[in-house]
């Protein structure tokens, strides 16, 4: 039976529940443990930063060394405060954390921030480590906990600064909710001087108790939040994360994700840094595919993408769940930079729109002699009337129905003669179109900050890198193509095929004819197969199937049958089959599978892998002997519908072979899609009992897609 844990689309995209983190993120009373008057200390900065909070919370200073700090009364201990407080900031050494958090829990304080790393060289014999003990203390008291190893948070919308490090006095306000595991990223994003403002920004650190999803849940309760930004290294509380992403998808809120720890080396560093188990790249890919999350590769792409979503216009959908799907147009002042942009866009899959004849004719009237009306467009000729020429070109391109967004692709340097033609042209054009319009630079360090600020204040994003800006525009195009939210599915009916699968797993049957028979009940075409354990049985099976046949070992300990010489193809008659069986049984044992011969085709592997956080994942990739050589795969959370299955196949390198390479006929893509959807149905009904399922190879040709082998591994 499908459950919320096993299927993202069983989640109803209902409004977010009441924000349970309000006592922390909107705290009206705060105790600062470790407050200090000494300049340059963490305790002094903590007092200064919290005091800056526009919401003016009630502040209690705690440190046994001082009676007064900054003209405020200071008490020796939390125990000296009369009433519980909403939030306790623990600016104390790691060795004091357990004692102070325990005291806060006993007092009934409602939340806490642990800035320190909660490191302990050696836990007491027979006891859990410090981090585990801190988590247990907080959970037992129902106390929400930010950190350990964090920078705290800034609630810009509600005017609260719960940090111990100096940050801008007035962080930029805007529609982005940022949650990051990295304190450095937290500080960098608050100081980026870009067109990105925040409702709330959280450095959540190790997330001993309160995970990223809880902060996102709170942020979705703020009407000002229109974009979610995540910089994460691990998936904690995957169930709630999936529920929050489903709500964001249903509301059409862009979610932009930078995931760290995708490589083997990165995962080891994550474990050493925070003790967390980093999510594998397949986990992030599956989450992104299921909920329309925009994955970015670095902080520069993250920032360009956030700016575009935060202050820019969106592409209008022409029908529910689909964008215009055509592409962008760009105007340049350099022929070389125009060609460079075209090269780069092709490399990273950013489509330029094919403009119509009417648009081309209008451009020809505008351009200086010798310039070609095309997209991308080089406008620079004599340099006369720069403002009017560039504005007219942008407006003309924006008016083409095939154009989704337009970019003024110039370097936006500080002009030494004070010329403002480029920014004025962008402003003129933006006033004449409702389509997204951006300024796209090549080099961030060359951008004139004053002109960039001016444009951003008028709602024109300034994307500061050509590659990252083009990628951001691709995210904008992709967002218009995505459905408003993931579909819903019922929990699934108890059915005979599921019970048969459960029985096979319980009996320890992991492959062979019984599983091929079961796959047929899920709509997957399979090769006819009979099991046999002696020569007479082998010959009888071949008579039923018809020659030629394939002979395979059925020894469950042989995982790579081809490598072990356990697959013999094209056996044409009784004599050839008898000799093959004698050889095979002598090497690998008497148990064999006699199978129908299937015409050659492109081989795929389709299966189910179990992620420790997300549960069953659907994996599609190059199959047969290519499965490990190419490492070519796509991953999705079940259930996978036909549209998602097609997207998965299209993203594979082996897709070129399926389309028909070097004159070969193309494979029946509809049949491939049905097989993937069928495996998704297996995951929905048996995923809770499977550690893995591998249909490999699925032979794909013009006549269909046929599964010829399957291996199921129970949990």
**Most confident stretch, 154-158, 314-318, 614-618, 643-647:** 154-158
Distance of alpha carbon 407 from alpha carbon 375, whole angstroms = 11
Beta bridge partners of 59: 30
Q: What's the full length of the chain, in residues?
A: 715
> pLDDT at position 484, please?
53
Higher confidence at residue 8 or residue 194?
Answer: 194
pLDDT at position 263 is 54
pLDDT at residue 626 in the model: 52
In this model, does residue 278 exceed pLDDT 70?
no
- Provide the b/e sequence for 639-667 (b: ≥16 CB within 10 Å): bbbeebbeebbeebebbebbeeeeeeeeb
Q: Coil, strand or helix: which one is 526?
A: strand
- Which H or E run contains 291? helix 281-291
CA–CA separation, 243 vs 8, rounded Å?
A: 8
Sign of CA pseudo-dihedral 343, 349, 350, 355: positive
Instruction: Show Cβ contacts of residue 85 under 8 Å, excluding neighbours closer than 6 positions.
Output: 27, 29, 30, 31, 58, 60, 109, 110
Ranking 66-70, 115-119, 193-197, 555-559 by mean pLDDT, the lowest is 555-559
Partners of residue 619 on adjacent β-strands: 607, 635
Distances, alpha carbon 493 to alpha carbons 500, 543, 686, in Å: 14, 39, 12
d(CA 537, CA 294): 55
What pLDDT score does 261 carry? 61
- Report d(CA 194, CA 192) in Å as an integer: 5
Q: Which of the pair, 18 or 184, is modelled with greater confidence?
A: 184
d(C-alpha 85, C-alpha 88), whole Å: 7
The CA-atom distances, in angstroms, between 401 and each of 147, 338, 364, 406, 440 are 50, 22, 18, 12, 22
**Above 80 in pLDDT, residue 409?**
yes
Q: Which residues pair with 462 in a beta bridge?
A: 439
pLDDT at 122: 85
CA 5 to CA 242: how far, in whole Å? 9
Contact status, residue 303 vs residue 192, Cβ threshold 8 Å: yes
**Segment among 174-183, 323-332, 377-386 with least mean pLDDT:** 323-332
Other CB atoms within 10 A of residue 3 CB: 14
Q: What is the pLDDT of residue 567?
A: 87
Dist. CA 498–CA 520, nearest whole Å = 13
Q: What are phi and psi of 144, to 5 degrees?
A: -70, 145
What CA–CA distance (Å, rounded) separates 202 from 580?
66
Is residue 193 within 8 A of residue 286, CB to CB? The reply is no
DSSP state of 421: H
Asked if 685 and 492 count as a contact pair (C-beta separation under 8 A), the reply is yes
Residue 265's pLDDT is what?
Answer: 60
Cα-Cα-Cα-Cα dihedral sign, residues 516, 517, 518, 523: positive
- What pLDDT score does 65 carry? 96
Backbone angles phi, psi at 17, to 5 degrees: -70, 170
3-state DSSP call for residue 73? strand
Region 463-473 average pLDDT: 97
Residue 483 pLDDT:
61
Q: Strands 567-571 and 690-701: what pairing? A: unpaired
* Predicted local distance difference test score (pLDDT) of residue 85: 98
**Following DSSP, what letter does each residue of 564-611 receive, concatenated?**
TT-EEEEE-SHHHHHHHHHHHHHHH-S-EEEEE-----EEEEEEEEEE
Q: Contact 45/166 with Cβ under 8 angstroms?
A: yes
Are the C-beta atoms of 105 and 143 separated by less than 8 Å?
A: yes
Does residue 277 surpass a pLDDT of 70? Answer: no
Kindly state the percentage of the chain with pLDDT values over 70.
90
CB 229 within 8 A of CB 179: yes
CA-CA-CA-CA dihedral for 212, 217, 223, 226, to nearest 10: 50
Instruction: Give the pLDDT confidence score for residue 482 in this predicted structure.
Output: 77
Local structure of 44: helix, strand or coil: helix
pLDDT in tens, 321-345: 444 558 999 999 999 999 999 999 9
* C-alpha atoms less than 13 angstroms from C-alpha of 154 in its C-beta half-sphere: 32
Q: Distance between CA 709 and CA 645 in Å, rounded? A: 20
CA distance 481 to 581: 54
In this structure, of 205-214, 249-258, 609-618, the range with the lowest mean pLDDT score is 609-618
Q: Report whether 658 contacts 667 (CB < 8 A).
A: yes
Would you give the DSSP letter of residue 145?
E
CA distance 609 to 28: 47
pLDDT value, residue 279? 57
| Domains of the chain (ranges, CATH numbers) | 22-149 (3.40.50.720), 322-461 (3.40.50.261), 547-596 (3.30.1490.20), 602-714 (3.30.470.20)
Out of 108-112, 249-253, 421-425, least confident range:
249-253
Strand ranges for 225-371 from DSSP E: 227-232, 255-259, 294-295, 328-332
- Is 266 within 8 Å of 260 (Cβ atoms)? yes
Burial grade of 275 (CB within 10 A; 0-12, 13-18, 19 or more):
middle
Sheet holding 592-596, edge to edge: 529-532, 592-596, 549-553, 567-571
Mean pLDDT, the chain, whole residue set: 88
Lowest mean pLDDT among 248-257, 418-427, 619-628: 619-628
Query: How many other C-beta atoms lie within 10 A of the C-beta of residue 544?
Result: 11
% of the chain at pLDDT higher than 90: 63
Confidence of residue 410 (pLDDT cuts 50, 70, 90): very high
For 487-536, write each residue's pLDDT tens digit. 333 333 336 788 888 888 888 888 888 899 899 889 899 888 888 889 99
pLDDT in tens, 605-618: 999 999 888 889 99
Compute the average pLDDT of residues 564-577: 88
Please, which pLDDT band fits residue 674 given cuts at 50, 70 and 90? very high
């Amino acid at each position: 039976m499908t459950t919320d844990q096993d299927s993202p689309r069983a989640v109803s995209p209902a409004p977010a529940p009441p924000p349970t983190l309000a006592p922390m993120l909107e705290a009206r009373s705060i105790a600062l443990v470790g407050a200090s008057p000494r300049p340059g200390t963490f305790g002094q900065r903590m007092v200064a930063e919290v005091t800056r909070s526009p919401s003016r919370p009630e502040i209690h200073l705690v440190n046994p060394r001082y009676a007064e700090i900054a003209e405020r009364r200071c008490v020796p201990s939390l125990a000296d405060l009369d009433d519980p407080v909403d939030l306790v900031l623990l600016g104390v050494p790691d060795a004091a954390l357990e004692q102070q958090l325990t005291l806060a829990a006993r007092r009934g304080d409602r939340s806490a921030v642990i800035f320190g790393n909660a490191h302990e060289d050696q836990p007491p014999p027979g006891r859990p480590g410090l981090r585990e003990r801190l988590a247990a203390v907080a959970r037992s008291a129902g106390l929400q906990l930010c950190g350990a190893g964090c920078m705290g948070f800034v609630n810009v919308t509600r005017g609260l600064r719960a940090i111990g490090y100096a940050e801008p006095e007035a962080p930029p306000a805007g529609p982005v909710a940022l949650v990051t595991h990295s304190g450095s990223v937290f500080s960098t994003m608050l100081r980026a001087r870009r067109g990105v403002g925040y409702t709330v920004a959280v450095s959540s650190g190790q997330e001993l108790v309160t995970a990223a999803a809880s902060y996102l849940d709170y942020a979705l309760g703020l009407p000002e939040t229109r974009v979610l930004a995540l910089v994460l290294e691990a998936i904690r509380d995957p169930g709630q994360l999936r529920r929050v992403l489903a709500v964001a998808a249903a509301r059409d809120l862009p979610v932009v994700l930078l995931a760290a720890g995708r490589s083997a080396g990165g995962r080891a560093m994550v474990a050493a840094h925070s003790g967390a188990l980093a999510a594998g790249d397949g986990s992030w890919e599956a989450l992104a595919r299921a909920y329309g999350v925009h994955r970015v590769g670095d902080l520069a792409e993250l920032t360009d993408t956030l700016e575009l979503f935060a202050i820019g216009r969106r592409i209008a959908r022409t029908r529910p769940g689909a964008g215009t799907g055509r592409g962008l147009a760009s105007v340049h002042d350099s022929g070389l930079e125009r060609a460079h942009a075209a090269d780069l866009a092709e490399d990273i899959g950013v489509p330029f729109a094919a403009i119509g004849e009417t648009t081309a004719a209008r451009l020809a009237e505008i351009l200086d002699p010798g310039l070609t009306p095309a997209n991308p467009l080089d406008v620079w000729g004599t340099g006369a009337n720069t403002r009017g020429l560039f504005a007219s070109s942008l407006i003309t391109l924006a008016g083409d129905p095939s154009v989704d967004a337009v970019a003024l692709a110039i370097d936006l340097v500080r002009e030494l003669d004070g010329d403002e033609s480029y920014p004025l042209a962008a402003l003129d054009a933006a006033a004449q179109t409702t389509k997204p319009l951006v300024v796209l630079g090549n080099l961030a360090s060359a951008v004139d900050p004053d002109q960039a600020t001016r444009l951003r204040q008028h709602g024109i994003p300034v994307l500061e890198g050509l590659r990252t800006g083009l990628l951001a525009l691709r995210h904008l195009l992709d967002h218009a193509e995505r459905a408003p939210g993931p579909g819903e599915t019922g929990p699934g009916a108890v059915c005979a095929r599921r019970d048969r699968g459960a029985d096979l797993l319980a009996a320890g049957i992991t492959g062979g004819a019984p599983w091929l028979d079961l796959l047929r009940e899920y709509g997957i075409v399979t090769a006819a197969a009979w099991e046999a354990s002696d020569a007479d049985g082998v010959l009888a099976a071949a008579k039923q199937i018809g020659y030629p046949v394939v002979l395979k070992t059925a020894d469950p300990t042989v995982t790579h049958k081809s490598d072990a010489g356990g697959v013999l193809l094209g056996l044409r008659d009784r004599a050839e089959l008898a000799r093959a069986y004698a050889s095979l049984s002598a090497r690998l044992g008497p148990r064999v599978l006699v199978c129908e011969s299937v015409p050659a085709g492109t081989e795929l592997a389709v299966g189910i892998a179990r992620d420790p956080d997300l549960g069953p994942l659907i994996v599609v990739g190059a199959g047969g002997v290519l499965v490990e050589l190419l490492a070519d795969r796509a991953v999705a959370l079940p259930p996978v519908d036909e549209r998602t299955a097609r997207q998965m196949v299209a993203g594979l390198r082996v897709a070129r072979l399926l389309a028909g390479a070097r004159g070969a006929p193309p494979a029946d893509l509809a049949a491939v899609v049905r097989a993937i959807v069928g495996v998704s149905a297996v995951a929905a009904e048996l995923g809770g009992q499977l550690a893995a399922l591998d249909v490999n190879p699925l032979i794909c040709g013009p006549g269909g897609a046929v599964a010829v082998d399957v291996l199921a591994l129970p949990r």
